[in-house]
Amino acid sequence: MPKLTIEQLDLAGKRVFIRADLNVPLAGGEVADDTRLRAVVPTIQYALKAGAAVVLASHLGRPQGKVAREYSLRPVVDRLEALLGQRVELVPDCVGPETLARARSLKPGETLLLENLRFHPEEEANDDGFARELAALADCYVDDAFAAAHRTHASIVAITRYVQPAAAGLLMQQELSALGRILQSPERPLVAILGGAKVSDKLALVEHLLGRVDALLVGGGMAFTFLLALGHAVGRSLVEADCVETARAALNAARRRGVRLVVPLDTVVAASVDSASGRAVGIREIPPDQMGLDIGPRTCETFAAMMRTAQTVVWNGPMGVFEKTPFAAGTLGVARAVAEAPAFSVVGGGDTIAALAEAGVTERIGYVSTAGGAFLEFLEGRRLPGVEALTEAPV
Phi/psi for 56 (5° steps) reads -100, 135
Amino acid, res. 105: S
Catalytic residue among 65, 366, 372, 373: 373
**214-to-50, 192, 314 alpha-carbon distances in Å:** 44, 8, 12
Catalytic residue among 132, 198, 236, 364: 198
Catalytic residue among 109, 129, 180, 350: 350
Catalytic, 198? Answer yes
Q: Are the beta carbons of 205 and 380 closer than 8 angstroms?
A: yes
Catalytic, 36? Answer yes
CA distance 169 to 142: 6
Catalytic, 279? Answer no
Catalytic residue among 14, 36, 118, 151: 36
Q: Are the beta carbons of 144 and 173 closer than 8 angstroms?
A: no
Determine whether 390 is exposed, middle or buried from the number of CB atoms within 10 Å of its CB (0-12, 13-18, 19+).
Answer: buried
Radius of gyration, alpha carbons of the chain: 23
Catalytic, 350? Answer yes
Determine whether 195 is exposed, middle or buried from the number of CB atoms within 10 Å of its CB (0-12, 13-18, 19+).
Answer: buried
CA distance 210 to 212: 5
Catalytic site residues? Answer: 36, 198, 350, 373
